[in-house]
Structure 1
Amino acid sequence: MASVDEQHLPSPFPELYGRGLRLCPWDPAVDAETWLRGVTDPEFRRWNTPLTLISDLDEAAEFLRERAREAVDGTIAAYRITDESSGTTLGHISVNTISHVFRTARVGYWVLPEARGRGVATRALGLAAHWALTDLGLYRLELGHALGHDASCRIAERCGFRLEGTLRGAMFEAGRHDAFRDMHLHGRVGTDPEPKLP
């Protein structure tokens, strides 16, 4: 069981506001149930196979504690996407594998079923990408998604992440760690024009 200090590690990353959203850290003591619901959703599992498969509340809480430790190290900025007015959780977005040496990172996101179709991922990605390429001081962001995930492709392109190609066998197949599938790679660099988003 984690200590109180481990459960409430201060994040070095700021909360982000804009486009009707507030991006804030996940709290392992409070948000584990929501995280579990998000990563066990069938649509999430169709397109994503995380290295750590989570199946219960204890695993979800431990995963969020690990993300908080990585935030303190400065390598991951993991955000709970919430409605700025109501505080309702809508999904997740993270800036991962942050390298301040190469000024690069990868981004990933998911949206809860009840929040889909409202532009949540587009608004959150636009907000997080702008912050990462300005205040965080990064130059290049990458976004990968499974081939055939057309919705994610559209979100990436709306947010200024150009399709750069197809990486063969670069992602796990759905629900498996012993088989692979192709991935679209999108990229955005600091000199790209800022996309016009709602």
Structure 2
Amino acid sequence: MTDVKNSGELPGLVPVLRGHGLRLCSWDDGSERDVEAWLRGVTDPDFHQWNTPLKAVEDMAGARESIRSKLAATANGTGASFRVADAASGTTLGHIAVNDIARLTRCARVGYWVLPEARGQGVATRALALAARWALTDLGLHRLELGHALGHTASCRIAQRCGFLHEGTLRGAMCEAGRRDAFRDVHLHARIATDPEPALP
């Protein structure tokens, strides 16, 4: 999209990104299917094993509000959240977001999850490749960071496949699963705009 090329700003809606058999597009808080998929994604036990959301989502109302908060971040230029869908069928497979966009330093953090039935198919890898390319070119970011809890080997492999180099370990940087009084270490990966783009199989 030429209107956001190297601007570090969003036009209020995320663009539609296509490639690797996927379609990345905006979530729709008015769609029951979108809200139901979001609810399943953020209440899945595997999601909670590796993430401790700041605000728990437990029902459709909470899921709808969570999507609205993501849309608001897109509108004010601090984030960009994509529904990850199969390019052919349109079926929702997961979520990927470019969060905490800092215009001054041109830096952001990326996060994702995949629905249980879509795991093991390279969805997160393919979605991250698409989102990272967009963020580091059209959106004009210089640096993308990716952090995951120590021991989350699947996320580590995804980061490495997509050219996110392991830069170190952040001590006690994430809450333990389901807790606010205990912390765990985080692997920090990052990719910058001048890094070569990896070729996916």
* 1:143-174 deviation per Cα after TM superposition (whole angstroms, max 9, x unaligned): 00000000000000000000000100000100
The whole-number CA distance in structure 1 between the counterparts of 2:179 and 2:57 is 13
Aligned to 1:60, the other structure's residue is in SS state: helix
Give the deviation of 1:12 after TM superposition: 3.1
Give the deviation of 1:101 after TM superposition: 1.1
The whole-number CA distance in structure 2 between the counterparts of 1:163 and 1:91 is 24
Give the structure 1 partner of residue 199 of structure 2.
Answer: 196
The whole-number CA distance in structure 2 between the counterparts of 1:49 and 1:138 is 27
Give 2:59's aligned amino acid. Answer: D
Matched, 1:25 2:7: no
The whole-number CA distance in structure 2 between the counterparts of 1:175 and 1:193 is 37
How does the TM-score come out when normalised to structure 2?
A: 0.92
**Aligned with 2:94 (options 88, 91, 95):** 91
Give 1:17's aligned amino acid. Answer: R
The whole-number CA distance in structure 1 between the counterparts of 2:141 and 2:57 is 30
Matched, 1:37 2:35: no
Aligned to 2:188, the other structure's residue is in SS state: strand
Aligned to 1:109, the other structure's residue is in SS state: strand
Give the structure 2 partner of residue 54 of structure 1.
Answer: 57
Q: Which runs of 4+ in 1 moved over 2 A?
A: 10-13
Give the structure 2 partner of residue 79 of structure 1.
Answer: 82
Is this contact kept in 2: 1:25–1:79, CA < 8 A? yes
Give 2:120's aligned amino acid. Answer: G
Aligned to 1:183, the other structure's residue is in SS state: strand
Call closer, same or farther: CA 1:11–1:83 in 2, change over 3 Å: farther
Give the structure 1 partner of residue 181 of structure 2.
Answer: 178
Give the deviation of 1:69 after TM superposition: 1.1
The whole-number CA distance in structure 2 between the counterparts of 1:128 and 1:68 is 16
The whole-number CA distance in structure 2 between the counterparts of 1:36 and 1:13 is 21
Give the deviation of 1:11 after TM superposition: 3.6
The whole-number CA distance in structure 2 between the counterparts of 1:23 and 1:12 is 12
Is this contact kept in 2: 1:11–1:25, CA < 8 A? no
Give the structure 2 partner of residue 15 of structure 1.
Answer: 16
Aligned to 1:65, the other structure's residue is in SS state: helix
The whole-number CA distance in structure 1 between the counterparts of 2:14 and 2:62 is 24
Give 2:163's aligned amino acid. Answer: G
The whole-number CA distance in structure 2 between the counterparts of 1:97 and 1:133 is 14
The whole-number CA distance in structure 2 between the counterparts of 1:38 and 1:26 is 13
Is this contact kept in 2: 1:49–1:174, CA < 8 A? yes
Matched, 1:142 2:141: no
The whole-number CA distance in structure 1 between the counterparts of 2:135 and 2:120 is 25
Unmatched runs of 5 consecutive residues or more in structure 1: 1-9
Output the aligned Cα RMSD. 1.0
- Number of equivalences: 189
Q: Give the % identical residues.
A: 67
Give 1:39's aligned amino acid. Answer: V
Give the structure 1 partner of residue 111 of structure 2.
Answer: 108
Is this contact kept in 1: 2:14–2:25, CA < 8 A? no
Larger displacement relative to structure 2 (171-180 or 153-162): 171-180
Unmatched runs of 5 consecutive residues or more in structure 2: 1-10
The whole-number CA distance in structure 2 between the counterparts of 1:177 and 1:29 is 32
Aligned to 2:128, the other structure's residue is in SS state: helix
Matched, 1:122 2:91: no
